[in-house]
A and B are shown apart, each in its own frame.
Chain A
Amino acid sequence: MSDVALKPARRPSMRTPLDRSPWLLPVFLGIWLFIVIAPLLVLFAYSFFESRNFAMIYRPSLATWESLFTSGRFEVTVRTLRIAMTVTVIELLLAFPSALWLAKGCCSKTTRALVLAMLTIPFFLDLSSRIIVWRGILDENGLINHVLMALHIIGSPIQGMLYSEPAVHFGMIVSDFPMMVLPIYMAINVIDDTLIAAAADLGATPARILFDVILPLSLPGVLAGVVFTLGPALASWIEPNMLGGGFVNMLSNSVDSAYSALRYPVVAALSSFVILMVGLMLALLMFLTRRFADLSTSFRNLQS
């Protein structure tokens, strides 16, 4: 009896990858702190300085933060957050069924490989060239209006398809789709089919299978997909530039403009503000979901 109790203590290490190399995570943390967190802290410190006429003034002041709110730059942040979140939600709704179909409902493995390749290819190609094509299609003399008028469905061209927020949403959704699908696909792909079979055999309705079996098991993938979409969506600058026509001013445009005048403090303040907002949102999310699920324990449960 006491033998069994002592056994784990006699061989403390070598049982998990972490135990084999306990130095790994601290070393990684150290390197990461140096090349990522330190620059960000420096940037944050810069937000408390000012710049005048392309040169820095190293006197601490809150002037930059004040001007952030008086010049209306912060509403750029709010707008960016709103658009990014809307796009992420729409992507989730579109991508989850697609990933589910691709992983579980698809026909043959060749098709699967082909679709995966097609999802990844666009990354090779320049985003601005792809977006500029949409301008020619959505515009007043563009393809869609042309076709609709030729078919006499509408009398005069639809304005507002381009240079508006819906156009920016559309551009972002089309560009970010693969980012959302691929992680969810990977997560659903490893769900054991026998689990689903067992649940069905036990008499679960398909809705219950979806919500109680598939969804929780694919949660890491869903979260990864949300992060992959939300991050770049916040930083997107080509879609608002080309499809927004100056009516949809987003974060990257504002940062770009400040940088062209070498206003590092403004760049720093804007970025810090965004991180703050995102942090608040995440904290809110965690607080709300804590009532329904606990993420870290759910990770551990997934392993068994």
Chain B
Amino acid sequence: MKDRHSTTSQLDLSRRDMLKSIAATGALALGGTFGLNRLANAAASSTVRAYGVTTAQLKDWSILQKSTGLKMEYVGSGNDVGVFMRDVMASQMGNKVDLFIFEGGTQNILGPQGAYLVIDEKNPELKLWQRTPDTWKRSQTVLGSDGKQYGVPVIGNADSFGYFPDKLGINPDGSADVSWKMMFDDDRTRGRVGYDKTWNYSIGVAALYLNSTGKAKIVNPADPSPAEAKTVVDFLVARKKAGQFRTLVSSFEEQIQLLSNREVDILNCWEPAVREANLKLGDGKTRYAYTNEGYYKWGHGAYIASQAKDRGNMNTIYRMLNYFLDGEYRALQARDRGYAGPNMDLAVKYASANGWKQEDIDNLKATQQKVDRKFTKPFVSTTTPSHSDAIEEEWQRFLNA
């Protein structure tokens, strides 16, 4: 098996195993959550099965059923792109689910390999596709690097960092643009900085900062070349040795804990961490920054599993995709998690029509404005940078320093 191909992908590895897996299906009756015969019935029913990140879920999927009659069965994955791609490619997850929902970037690798179907933009069920703006439709989250449309945008946000305005002497209403310099190279914050340990999350913003200071010229902060990655890591190692960082963070709970207990003054965390910290400390004590240089912009996309081609429930799948573009999903996600997405105006319409409180409707508008303001700045992230090996290798130097 190893000699047949000089280079191969994990997808190739498992194609020949389809035959064997059919034989092994009998043994699966014990554990299979989605049996093959249930999938056959899916054509008749209106159930959609999805596998992906937990942040794309509605807190309560019964709302979906009430308004559209669709039923969603969701299997959660972690945020780990390695695990996700392995599940799609080597474990053939598409045999059991119809949709994948994950952060942008996987379609660059999995799309050309045939794990995702190309989106049929003219499908009659995809009613909202035309009116969805291009900034969402054609973003790097859902458009493959080969130019094909693999996904439908589901969620988007722009991450920066949380900070204590009173400690750093910044306008406490949080509306000012703060520089990433505060995070990387400032005496006021030395020894009080929390930095995320995940290389994917953290190296891009460091590259962005270095670009802005002119110390480096990195063409694509989301995908630095090996030499560029080395420059960034050299800078970070120097800052680490100078005592800039107090701790490297690796979980959401840690982020909340650090902010709530005021152990750090600045931390490149996820936005909900700031919300949780403010619940304890009081409204506005911690702010999520608008920055000068740019943001870690991320988005979730919904991709169709290639195995869904022959299941006969394409219409159901496209109805689900349309739901992701619609006002109800948008409004609920914005209210519950603070995320934005395409067609926020539909969300406002939905909220007004369904009698939401005025402040909730105003919050929706504020979320949209926030995202608009952030999206004007550069830098989109990808989970699958083409130089991932070199970047990860360089990152080890930083962690070992």
Report which A residues bind B (CB closer than 8 A).
45, 51-59, 67, 71-73, 75-76, 128, 132, 135-136, 139-142, 162-163, 241-242, 245-247, 249, 253-254, 257-263
Return the chain A residue nearest B2 by Cβ.
Answer: A58
Question: In angstroms, how far is the closest chain A Cβ from the Cβ of B399?
Answer: 5
Q: What separation, in Å, do the CA atoms of A71 and B246 have in the docked complex?
A: 24
Neighbour of B396 across the interface among A51, A52, A71, A241, CB < 8 A: A71
Neighbour of A72 across the interface among B2, B82, B262, B396, CB < 8 A: B396
Question: In angstroms, how far is the closest chain A Cβ from the Cβ of B361?
Answer: 37
Neighbour of A54 across the interface among B2, B7, B197, B388, CB < 8 A: B388
Question: In angstroms, how far is the closest chain B Cβ from the Cβ of A45?
Answer: 8
Return the chain B residue nearest A67 by Cβ.
Answer: B393
Would you mind naming 14 contact pairs between A and B with Cβ atoms under 8 Å apart? A53-B389, A54-B384, A59-B7, A72-B397, A128-B253, A132-B254, A135-B257, A136-B261, A140-B263, A142-B261, A260-B81, A260-B83, A260-B200, A261-B388
Contacts of B262 in A (CB 8 A): 141
Q: What separation, in Å, do the CA atoms of A44 and B250 have in the docked complex?
A: 29
What size tier do the contact residues of chain B reach? 35 or more
Check B82 against A262 for contact (C-beta < 8 Å): yes
Q: What separation, in Å, do the CA atoms of A163 and B254 have in the docked complex?
A: 13
Q: B5 within 8 Å of A by Cβ? A: yes
Return the chain A residue nearest B1 by Cβ.
Answer: A58
The A-contacting residues of B in range 69-99, CB under 8 angstroms, are 80-83, 85-86
Contacts of A162 in B (CB 8 A): 247
Question: In angstroms, how far is the closest chain B Cβ from the Cβ of A143?
Answer: 11
The A-contacting residues of B in range 1-36, CB under 8 angstroms, are 2-3, 5-10
Neighbour of B248 across the interface among A71, A136, A246, CB < 8 A: A246
Contacts of A257 in B (CB 8 A): 199, 392, 395-396, 399
Per CB-CB distance, the 3 closest pairs between chain A and chain B, nearest first, are A246-B248, A245-B247, A260-B82
Return the chain B residue nearest A75 by Cβ.
Answer: B400
Check B6 against A246 for contact (C-beta < 8 Å): no
Check B86 against A262 for contact (C-beta < 8 Å): yes
Check A73 against B396 for contact (C-beta < 8 Å): yes
The A-contacting residues of B in range 211-270, CB under 8 angstroms, are 245-251, 253-254, 257, 261-263
Check B7 against A57 for contact (C-beta < 8 Å): yes
Question: In angstroms, how far is the closest chain A Cβ from the Cβ of B259?
Answer: 12
Q: What separation, in Å, do the CA atoms of A162 and B194 have in the docked complex?
A: 14
Check A139 against B263 for contact (C-beta < 8 Å): yes
Check B392 against A163 for contact (C-beta < 8 Å): no
Q: What separation, in Å, do the CA atoms of A246 and B243 have in the docked complex?
A: 12
Known contacts A54-B388, A135-B254, A246-B399; can you find 16 more A-B pairs with CB under 8 A? A54-B384, A56-B9, A58-B6, A67-B393, A71-B397, A72-B400, A75-B400, A140-B263, A141-B262, A257-B392, A257-B396, A259-B82, A260-B80, A260-B81, A260-B198, A261-B388
Check B253 against A132 for contact (C-beta < 8 Å): yes
Contacts of A259 in B (CB 8 A): 80, 82-83
Check B400 against A261 for contact (C-beta < 8 Å): no
Check B8 against A55 for contact (C-beta < 8 Å): yes
Q: What separation, in Å, do the CA atoms of A161 and B3 have in the docked complex?
A: 53
Check A246 against B245 for contact (C-beta < 8 Å): yes
Q: What separation, in Å, do the CA atoms of A259 and B388 have in the docked complex?
A: 11
Return the chain A residue nearest B11 by Cβ.
Answer: A55
Question: In angstroms, how far is the closest chain A Cβ from the Cβ of B308?
Answer: 23
Check B392 against A258 for contact (C-beta < 8 Å): yes
Return the chain B residue nearest A246 by Cβ.
Answer: B248
Question: In angstroms, how far is the closest chain B Cβ from the Cβ of A241?
Answer: 5
Contacts of A67 in B (CB 8 A): 393
Return the chain B residue nearest A142 by Cβ.
Answer: B261
Contacts of A247 in B (CB 8 A): 248
Question: In angstroms, how far is the closest chain B Cβ from the Cβ of A132?
Answer: 6
Point out which of A141, A259, A261 has the most chain B C-beta atoms below 10 A from its C-beta. A261
The A-contacting residues of B in range 370-401, CB under 8 angstroms, are 384, 386-389, 391-397, 399-400
Check A136 against B257 for contact (C-beta < 8 Å): yes
Question: In angstroms, how far is the closest chain A Cβ from the Cβ of B167?
Answer: 13
Question: In angstroms, how far is the closest chain B Cβ from the Cβ of A61?
Answer: 12
Return the chain B residue nearest A257 by Cβ.
Answer: B392
Q: What separation, in Å, do the CA atoms of A289 and B296 have in the docked complex?
A: 57
Contacts of B250 in A (CB 8 A): 241-242
Q: B109 within 8 Å of A by Cβ? A: yes
Return the chain A residue nearest B247 by Cβ.
Answer: A245
Q: B323 within 8 Å of A by Cβ? A: no
Q: B195 within 8 Å of A by Cβ? A: yes
Check A246 against B80 for contact (C-beta < 8 Å): no
Check B254 against A242 for contact (C-beta < 8 Å): yes
Question: In angstroms, how far is the closest chain A Cβ from the Cβ of B272?
Answer: 17
Contacts of B391 in A (CB 8 A): 261
Q: What separation, in Å, do the CA atoms of A71 and B393 have in the docked complex?
A: 7
Check B261 against A139 for contact (C-beta < 8 Å): yes
Q: What separation, in Å, do the CA atoms of A57 and B6 have in the docked complex?
A: 6
Check A53 against B386 for contact (C-beta < 8 Å): yes
Contacts of A261 in B (CB 8 A): 82, 388-389, 391-392
Question: In angstroms, how far is the closest chain B Cβ from the Cβ of A47?
Answer: 13
Point out which of A67, A139, A262 has the most chain B C-beta atoms below 10 A from its C-beta. A262
Return the chain A residue nearest B198 by Cβ.
Answer: A260
Q: What separation, in Å, do the CA atoms of A147 and B247 have in the docked complex?
A: 23
Point out which of A58, A73, A141 has the most chain B C-beta atoms below 10 A from its C-beta. A58
Neighbour of B247 across the interface among A55, A71, A246, CB < 8 A: A246
Check B7 against A58 for contact (C-beta < 8 Å): yes
Q: What separation, in Å, do the CA atoms of A263 and B396 have in the docked complex?
A: 13
Question: In angstroms, how far is the closest chain A Cβ from the Cβ of B142?
Answer: 19
Check B195 against A246 for contact (C-beta < 8 Å): yes
Q: What separation, in Å, do the CA atoms of A263 and B249 have in the docked complex?
A: 23
Contacts of B82 in A (CB 8 A): 54, 259-262
Neighbour of A55 across the interface among B9, B197, B399, CB < 8 A: B9
Q: What separation, in Å, do the CA atoms of A176 and B86 have in the docked complex?
A: 32
Check B247 against A163 for contact (C-beta < 8 Å): yes
Point out which of A45, A55, A141 has the most chain B C-beta atoms below 10 A from its C-beta. A55
The A-contacting residues of B in range 176-221, CB under 8 angstroms, are 195, 197-200
Contacts of B8 in A (CB 8 A): 55-56, 58
Q: What separation, in Å, do the CA atoms of A245 and B389 have in the docked complex?
A: 24
Q: What separation, in Å, do the CA atoms of A247 and B249 have in the docked complex?
A: 11
Check B109 against A53 for contact (C-beta < 8 Å): yes
Contacts of A253 in B (CB 8 A): 399
